[in-house]
Amino acid sequence: MPRKSPALAVLASADTESTELQRDLLVYLGFNCQKTYLTMLPALLKAMGKFKLRPADFSVLVLVRGNPDINQKRISEILNISPPNMATLLDRLEQRDILTRQRNPSDKRSQVLVLTAEGLRICNKAEKAVSETEQALSSALSEEEKNELIRLLRKLQVGA
């Protein structure tokens, strides 16, 4: 019999009594989204924590890696992080030699964000760990169901 992963143990811990107590809330999309997020978060924090990354740090690294010449303002908008908080986050990543701010060659008034070699290494390893964790946490869904869930959630984000 295959062993359950620790991530799956989190999902399996929901008991019948708890579900019965939440019955009136289970019809609300927001409640289900929040409950799912809070169920998945500890395992995802652990996966990112191995690389001393927070969720916002991880998101920034993935965006910078996938979007050469992206600037701080654009990342701030995408992730809905205030400019002062974004500056602090980027300062922290720069101090760790994970990314650098460089003059934008096409607009000298702005700076672009670039991963260092260490930043690229950390980003790739963290992404692998996060992907594996998400795979374990979503193992109750088929690949098709997972893609449909993402599509539907994206549809709600665009419509909001």
* Mean pLDDT of all residues belonging to the chain: 88
HEC sequence for 91-147: HHHHHCCCEEEEEECCEEEEEEEEECHHHHHHHHHHHHHHHHHHHHHCCCCCHHHHH
Instruction: Count Cα neighbours of 37 within 13 Å in the Cβ-side half-sphere.
Output: 8
For residue 69, the tally of other CB atoms under 10 A from its CB is: 15
Tell me the per-residue pLDDT of 56-96, one tens digit each, with 9 for 90 and over: 999 999 999 999 889 999 999 999 999 999 999 999 999 99
Instruction: Count Cα neighbours of 139 within 13 Å in the Cβ-side half-sphere.
Output: 14
Question: Which residues does residue 84 pair with via DSSP β-bridges, in sequence order?
Answer: none
4 has pLDDT over 60 = no
- What pLDDT is recorded for position 88? 96
**What pTM value is reported for the model?**
0.81
Residue 6: pLDDT band (50, 70, 90) is: very low
Tell me the per-residue pLDDT of 110-126, one tens digit each, with 9 for 90 and over: 889 999 999 999 999 99
> Does the domain at residues 15-134 carry the CATH identifier 3.40.50.670?
no
